[in-house]
Structure 1
Amino acid sequence: MKYHLARGEEQLGIFNDLDVSAGLREGRFRPTDLCWAEGMPGWLPLGAHLQELNMDTAAAPVSEVPGLAALRAEVRQDQTLRLQPASRGQRLAAHLIDLVMMVVPFMVYYMIVFDQALQEEVQALQKDPAAMAAAIQRRIDVVQASGNPVPSIMSLIMNLLMLANVILLTVRGQTLGKMCLGIQVVRFPGGERAGFVKAVLLRNVLFGILVFGSLIFYGLAGMALPVANVLLIFRQDRRCLHDLVADTLVTRRKP
């Protein structure tokens, strides 16, 4: 089959299948170059068309292909653009929804259990963590013995929300907030399902431990880590620090 290739408005020429495959391996052609052949409905990106045909476009070893790193970087960028990264507003709104869902039941629980008397007792026992924990447990026992079901209900709601988000992140790459906004966490750059390890363990648990550790060991200086995480949303691909740790990307979910 003869392919007509073009790069922007520049005509590259007419090439057969073997020439196109070799040109991709050697870096002379790019996956973003446009191609057309007889029988095709119109011009298509070369990489997308060859992928449909299951043609072998595997790259040659690094030592044999000049500029291979630049070619791979360009392909990764093209894939990222096709994935349509979620907007900053969508990510912020989804995070706020998840936060509110957890904060509301927690505040109800806190207001019932941590009354004024317990707060004063805890304040007095700050230098004795064991006694502080015992005082809190005694208060919880008193509330439970009173027959008030609200603290137990709030605790159940928080546990169910956490479980639901873990399952949704594993299966769909979404929390409840991300579902509301139509966005999801995927692997970078291919867009495959992130799964439990990347979406939950690396992106949330591991990064949460890193932030907690930085605050414990470095105090106010440790705030640099969460602040840097937020500021990286202004990258072109909008990948925050926890996305870089987990090698993930937040995208608009395909219908």
Structure 2
Amino acid sequence: MEVWIGRDGERHGPYTEADVRQWLASGEVSPADLGWYEGLADWQPLSVLFPSAQAATDETATIPPMPPVATDALADVASFRRRLGAWIIDYLILMLPATIIGFSMGAPAALARFSAQLKAGVGLEVAAAEYAHTMHPAALLALLAGFIYYALFEQSRWQATPGKRALGLRVTDLEGQRITLGRSLLRNAVRLANVVTSLIPLICYLAVAWTARRQGLHDLLAKTLVLNGRAGDTDTRPASSTGGSTFSA
């Protein structure tokens, strides 16, 4: 479990639960400091969150500075669920240009032939293979459109596709900064390669569920992160109970 600590209106972390317990016991953090972890509706005193790890120190003593944060410990990595939701939105958006491309490149005629072949007794495998062969150029063009869509939006001032922006996400480098066009092209070239090889659900996205910083294969190779919070937002603290909790593909 990753724990955030709030002090003097600033958020520090995330830290592991073991570290927080150790700092409470040694007096490096105060039981009065506020804490938050994913699933809580609001910040609570550390004494409430970890009642068995009280510091054996004088509460009137000067509160020490916060323990240092690793330079790459960035806030609010996006969860698999939110990234999946953003992907679904983008997929629905990309269905429009894909449909236009398909219709302009003979999809109605190909479907009509496919149906006629089935009625004439041609095997489903044969008819489907012919349909796929006919529509192969259109499928490649639709994939290229999707590649351009992702690459341009994710390196833009939004730092996100419309789907990611709708769910309050942004793509950054490992320092939390806007990515370059070259890095965006690399990130999405990995995604494109996984689409072509039909491995995208297994390799590219499922890693988001178990890697430490919720990175897919494309994130790992391009050294990128997907974080909660739209580009330009100044307040990235976990939401309070009045604004809903933050749930960190």
- Alignment TM-score, normalising by the size of structure 1: 0.48
Bigger helix fraction? 1
- Alignment TM-score, normalising by the size of structure 2: 0.49
When Rg is computed on C-alpha atoms for both structures, the one with the higher figure is 1
